[in-house]
Each structure stands twice: as structure tokens, then as C-alpha cells.
Structure 1
Amino acid sequence: MQLPVTFEELISKTEELELYTKLIKQVNKDFLLSNIDLDFDEEILPSSLKYLLHEVIFKLIQEKFAEYLNLLYIVDVSEEKMRQLDGSDTLKLSEEVTFLVLQREWQKVWYREIYS
């Protein structure tokens, strides 16, 4: 499996395989497991999903770092990928983490679809 490398590619593959609703459900599930009060509507536009998720992750980094780390653990974002990010600009960091979260959630949904 080739992981998507851009947000547009991720959304394109998700829609192509008709997995977008499952992606939203997985994001909602992992946020609930992380005790973060966030529940996306299954009909949310991809651009809105990206924007709102970015905003939430930015606030978590700024105000609730322990919850942010817990979210990364629950989602199972790669530590290696996290180490490669530049943390000097919080806004850019949160944007990159948003993509990593969506990428990992997509991976979970894709594996479940292919192997079940």
C-alpha cells in the first residue's frame, strides 16, 4: 500500500474507494477514545474537516499538551514521522500533525476494508 503524501491525494483515494464516511467515523472514534469532545458530521466537506481538525490540534498543542500526546498515542501516529517535524512554528507543526493524523486514520480504514 502506498500512503497518500498530500491531503488532496488522501481525500481523492478515500472518495475513490468510497471510504470517506468510514474515515470520519474512525476520526470520531479515536477522538472519543482520547476524551476530546469533537464529533464530525459524516457529511462534512473535506476542506472543512481539514480546517476544523487543524484548529483543534493547534489548540491542543497550545493549551492541552497532555491531551494532544494522548491523541497521538490513540491514533497511533508514527513516532519516527513526529521526530522529523520542525516544532519551531506551532501553526505549521499543527498543520503537519493534522495530515499525519488523517493519514494514519486513512491507513486504519483502508486496512480494515481490504482485510475484512
Structure 2
Amino acid sequence: MKTTQEILKLSITNQLYVALVNQLNKDFRRVGIEASFGLELKPEALVRNLTATIYELIVSDFEAYLNLLYAIDVSESKIKDLPVQEVHELATAVTQLILEREFVKVSFKNKHE
């Protein structure tokens, strides 16, 4: 599994950062979560905002959190393999899994367009 920084660096190198942010926004809208990540966000700010949003979902709307993971198609086995940890650590780990999955999606779309 790549680190969050590696995923974002790859997205920038492959000119897929905008597509990645757009895909995140699309998937959040699809499940009715009021979160929007601006294209002007630097990668560090995107990670910070996404992690904060995931944290908030875990503690306040767990059903929406699960729906989001399903919509993004984050591997259930990868979620189950995460160690038992504090909520903020879980949010950080899930952010990494989300970015990894979204990057795979936009990479695939880019190669097949």
C-alpha cells in the first residue's frame, strides 16, 4: 500500500490531481454527504480536510461513513485489516485507503479514454 504522500505525488506527476479531487467530490455527492474539496486545495490541505471529514462521519454519522466506503468501493478486507486504534488514527488510515482507491479509478479512466 502506498502512503498518502506517494498517492498524491503520483496523481500530480500523472496530471490526475484534478481528476482525483473531482472523483472525491462526485462520490461524496452520490451518497448525499455535504462535503466539497476545492480544486485549489494543495495536496496537504486536501488530506487534512478529507481526514477531518472522515473523522466527523465516523463519530457522528457512521451509516453515512459506511455508505461512502461502499460508494467509493474501498475494500472491506482492507478496512477489517486495520488495527484497532483511536478514531483519529482510523480516520487517517481510511483517508489513505480512500485516496488509494480513487487514484486507481481515475488512473484507469485516464488510460481508457
Taking only the aligned residue pairs, the percentage that are identical comes to 36
The aligned counterpart of 1:8 is: 5
Q: Deviation string for 1:29-56 (max 9, x for gaps)?
A: 0000011001111111100000010001
Q: Structure 2: which 5+ runs fail to align?
A: none
Match of 2:47 among 50, 56, 64: 50
Report the count of equivalent residues. Answer: 113
Matched, 1:83 2:83: no
Name the counterpart of 2:19.
22
CA distance in 1, matches of 2:85, 2:14: 36
The aligned runs of 1:67-78 (5 Å cut-off) are: 67-78=64-75
The CA distance in 2 between the partners of 1:82 and 1:41, in whole Å, is 27
* Structure 1 residue 87, shift from structure 2 partner: 3.3
TM-score (structure 1 length as normaliser): 0.94
Over 6 Å off, 4+ runs: none
Q: Which runs of 5+ in 1 are unaligned?
A: none
Give the aligned partner of residue 96 of structure 1.
Answer: 93
Superposed displacement of residue 62, structure 1:
0.5
Q: Which amino acid aligns with 1:46?
A: P
Alpha-carbon distance in 2 for matches of 1:92, 1:86: 10
TM-score when normalising by structure 2: 0.96
Q: CA RMSD in A?
A: 1.0
